[in-house]
Structure 1
Amino acid sequence: MPLRNTKTSVRKKSTAPQRKPAKRKTKKKVNHSMPAWIRNILVFILAVFFTGAFYYFFIRPYAYRWKPCAGQKEYGVCIPCGYEVHGIDISHYQGDIDWNVLSMNRETDSPLHFVFMKATEGGDHGDDTFCNNFTEALNHGFIRGAYHFFIPSTDALKQADFFIRTVQLKPGDLPPVLDVEVTGKKNKVELQRCVKQWLDRVESHYGVKPILYTSYKFKTKYLDDSLFNAYPYWIAHYYVDSVKYQGKWDFWQHTDVGNVPGIEEDVDLNVFKGTLDELKKLTIK
């Protein structure tokens, strides 16, 4: 059997120059850290901001507790000078009240003579402490009053009728009070129209002009029409030594953090701009 010629293949060495493995380019680290002086400034700004916010919301409202009183200090606050008739306003937020202890505050240097009580809110919400508080105030010799918290989005006449059904005022009671603090997304003209509807309806029923309660800023902004100046005005203006409102007013709610024996929770304190006899003349005959 003839042998096959076998060719042995010999690998030729490549003469091409071999490439050296490429070196990986290493990126230079960029220092993104903030310069120390900028960081210190930002820390300082943040510290000032949070300190200011803490003071504004938690210290400022109560700062008058530590400042020297121009007059006298009672019920945990500085009592405005020049007023002899004082009172409080209460609602379910004050919880159960010890009326026997509360009545003793008529014998203090800043005697409490009148008590306003929340009766109703909106068209169907009654304060669940009103009936008891209203009876107890009369039994313990206080001049009493009742107020309605106005909800602009609810029909004004419905609110007025709800208040009338709830509150039976008697001779010697203060006129009914309308508490107006929010606009309910109504414009100024609409709000004034609704407020006037409530006032007219309630005045027609009780035969006396209601008292209008709001802050001095709210009144000057939304209820600045001269027709509202015909009503006794109860002004809310806190943390000041005197009222800045330039118009006529009868009651001033000067703080919301009074500490009154007989009431465990903080309570609003008020003064009447006049004598006790003048306050009695304001009551329903």
Structure 2
Amino acid sequence: MKRKNTRTTYSRKVKKKNSILPAQLIRYFVFGFLLFVVLSLGYHYRSSFAYYLGFKSHFNKETNVFSEARNLKVMEKSEGKVIGLDVSEYQGKIRWSYVDTIEEKYPLHYVFVRATVGKDRVDHQFKRNWLGAKENKMIRGAYHYYRPNENSLEQAELFIKTVKLKKGDLPPVLDIEKLPKEQSLERLKIGLRRWLKAVELHYGVRPIIYTGEKYYDDFLKEEFSDYLFWIANYNFYREEIQDDWLFWQFTEKAKVPGIDYKVDVNIYNGDLQQLQYITVE
């Protein structure tokens, strides 16, 4: 009968124990770090969480409390600046007479309405939204969703044919989000310039460009610095508008009275008087 080598067995046990310890320490560290992050966020948004968890009558299981708390924080830190929406057919049939405030506290003063897409499509709800916003006494603006692989002048013609701007309306907006598949980046920029110039010539006012923050930084910031920008950024750590942004779309998941679907909310980098100043004369 063979005797076990007790020294070898003991050595294996020590090695196994030592290999387990670092793994446990890593798990404890990760858990501790995550706990710290959660507690820090809870403290940072403590007033918002208390509001939603303790006082919201419409709070339900579908409510993203963290997201809504962050949005509330953004609006709290944007005191004095003007809040508005942007809508399209994706919001369904809006009951405009109910569209007035967010959380019964933050008034909505303006709305951008999607008018056209590419060279051949008018938003199904544009006419209804365009008239509804006016009847609801909101400052309104129209935007065009640009398709990079379609003729830029044909896209401009569709927008011009569809949108009749009046005194008090916001400047037209070019929405560019996609990179081209069938043309170079330089050709894309030429097309954007053509759309912008054609629309400016028709309306007598310089358009605004809407895009995401990364798209803005990577492709547009330098070459289109003569234009004003409306930037989309939903990151939770971003809570204040940047100095070089005219508008900031800070969420795409807000709930607003009169609208059955989630909607985008924006901050204008100024007060109501300054917003009225940039409207069409």
TM-score category, normalised to shorter length: 0.7 to 0.9
Which of the two has higher C-alpha Rg? 1
Q: Could you list the runs of 5+ residues in structure 1 that have no partner in the other structure?
A: 1-64
> What CA deviation, in whole Å up to 9, does each residue of 1:45-96 have, x standing for no partner?
xxxxxxxxxxxxxxxxxxxx98843886799452311243100100010001
Query: In the alignment, which residue of structure 2 is the partner of 1:125?
Result: 121
- Asked whether 1:91 is paired with 2:88, we answer yes
Query: In the alignment, which residue of structure 1 is the partner of 2:244?
Result: 248
Contact 1:76/1:259 (<8 A) preserved = no
Query: In the alignment, which residue of structure 1 is the partner of 2:99?
Result: 102
Q: Which AA in structure 1 matches 2:127?
A: C
Alpha-carbon distance between aligned partners in 2 of 1:232 and 1:110, rounded to the nearest angstrom: 25
Contact 1:145/1:176 (<8 A) preserved = yes
Residues 221 and 114 of structure 1, relative CA distance in 2, 3 Å threshold: same
Question: Structure 2 matches for 1:28-177, cutoff 5 A?
Answer: 68-69=44-45, 76-77=68-69, 78-79=71-72, 80=74, 81-83=77-79, 84-103=81-100, 105=101, 108-177=104-173
Deviation (angstroms), 1:243 = 6.5
Deviation (angstroms), 1:201 = 0.3
- Asked whether 1:276 is paired with 2:252, we answer no
- Asked whether 1:222 is paired with 2:219, we answer yes
Secondary structure of the structure 1 residue equivalent to 2:164: coil
Secondary structure of the structure 1 residue equivalent to 2:106: coil
Alpha-carbon distance between aligned partners in 1 of 2:185 and 2:120, rounded to the nearest angstrom: 25
Deviation (angstroms), 1:116 = 0.5
TM-score, normalised with respect to structure 1: 0.71
Contact 1:211/1:233 (<8 A) preserved = yes
Residues 106 and 137 of structure 1, relative CA distance in 2, 3 Å threshold: farther
Contact 1:99/1:140 (<8 A) preserved = yes
Contact 2:241/2:267 (<8 A) preserved = no
Secondary structure of the structure 2 residue equivalent to 1:229: coil
Question: Which 4+ stretches in 1 moved above 6 angstroms?
Answer: 243-247
Alpha-carbon distance between aligned partners in 2 of 1:143 and 1:69, rounded to the nearest angstrom: 31
Alpha-carbon distance between aligned partners in 2 of 1:151 and 1:66, rounded to the nearest angstrom: 41
Contact 1:174/1:282 (<8 A) preserved = yes
Contact 2:110/2:138 (<8 A) preserved = yes
Q: Which AA in structure 2 matches 1:173?
A: D
Q: Which AA in structure 2 matches 1:260?
A: V
Deviation (angstroms), 1:100 = 1.4
Q: Which AA in structure 1 matches 2:98?
A: V
Alpha-carbon distance between aligned partners in 1 of 2:172 and 2:125, rounded to the nearest angstrom: 17
Query: In the alignment, which residue of structure 1 is the partner of 2:186?
Result: 189
Q: Which AA in structure 2 matches 1:69?
A: Y
Contact 2:241/2:269 (<8 A) preserved = no
Secondary structure of the structure 2 residue equivalent to 1:239: coil
TM-score, normalised with respect to structure 2: 0.72
Alpha-carbon distance between aligned partners in 1 of 2:151 and 2:42, rounded to the nearest angstrom: 45
Residues 244 and 140 of structure 1, relative CA distance in 2, 3 Å threshold: closer
The structure that is helix-richer by fraction is 2
- More displaced 10-residue stretch of structure 1: 251-260 or 185-194: 185-194
Secondary structure of the structure 2 residue equivalent to 1:111: strand
Q: Which AA in structure 1 matches 2:249?
A: Q
The alignment's C-alpha RMSD in Å is 2.8
Residues 70 and 269 of structure 1, relative CA distance in 2, 3 Å threshold: farther
Query: Percent identity between the aligned chains?
Result: 40
Alpha-carbon distance between aligned partners in 2 of 1:70 and 1:91, rounded to the nearest angstrom: 34
Q: Could you list the runs of 5+ residues in structure 2 that have no partner in the other structure?
A: 1-40, 53-66
Q: Which AA in structure 1 matches 2:203?
A: Y
Contact 1:256/1:269 (<8 A) preserved = yes
Deviation (angstroms), 1:111 = 1.1
Contact 1:237/1:243 (<8 A) preserved = no
Alpha-carbon distance between aligned partners in 2 of 1:178 and 1:71, rounded to the nearest angstrom: 37
